[in-house]
Amino acid sequence: MTGPIIVGVDGSPTAQRAAHKARDLALKLDVALHVVSAHTDATIEHVNSGSDQWVVSGADNALYIAEQVVRGLRTPGLKIHAGSAQGKPAEALIDYAEKAGAQLIVVGNQRMRGARRVLGSVANTVSHTAGCDVYIANTYVD
């Protein structure tokens, strides 16, 4: 296996648990890990603070989330990258995985239990449409 593992994150505790599982898998398989956060907002916002001005976009915010997760996952011997992808989370992860030549996408099982499962979940959509293997990590805390 040579392609990277992709994991989607959104800053939530459940996504953090899925990212830890993805890190463990990447280490065991000796492949790179890409931590990706999706964004749907293509707008750019100008933020002023005193005489300073920053230009912030949805992509910037998504990349910031991914970078924060990467900081917490750094492990010797692991090649890890932060990235952002535009689109709804499931679609963005699948597109990113295809472009990166991923062998595996790791997603959490959030929204796959109980009444909310009928509304759909990222894991469900990814597992049914991804062109690579999908690992659904148990992110529920007992």
Percent of the chain with pLDDT over 70: 81
Specify whether the CB–CB gap between 121 and 110 falls below 8 A: yes
Mean pLDDT of the chain: 86
Strands (E), 44-118: 44-49, 52-57, 80-86, 104-108
Q: What is the rounded end-to-end Cα distance, in angstroms, of the chain?
A: 33
User: Is the CATH number of domain 5-137 3.40.50.620?
Assistant: yes
Question: Looking at residue 119, what is its pLDDT?
Answer: 42
**Once rounded to an integer, what is the mean pLDDT over residues 60-80?**
93
Question: Looking at residue 61, what is its pLDDT?
Answer: 85
Length of the chain in residues, anyone? 142
Residues whose CB falls within 8 Å of the CB of residue 141, separated by 6 or more in sequence, listed in order:
none
* Ranges of each domain in the chain: 5-137
**Once rounded to an integer, what is the mean pLDDT over residues 66-91?**
94
Nearest Cα residue to 33 out of 108, 105, 98: 105
Question: Looking at residue 102, what is its pLDDT?
Answer: 97
> Is the confidence at residue 111, as pLDDT, over 80?
no
- Name the band, by pLDDT with cuts 50, 70 and 90, for residue 55: low
Q: What angle do CA 25, 29, 30 make, to 5 degrees?
A: 110
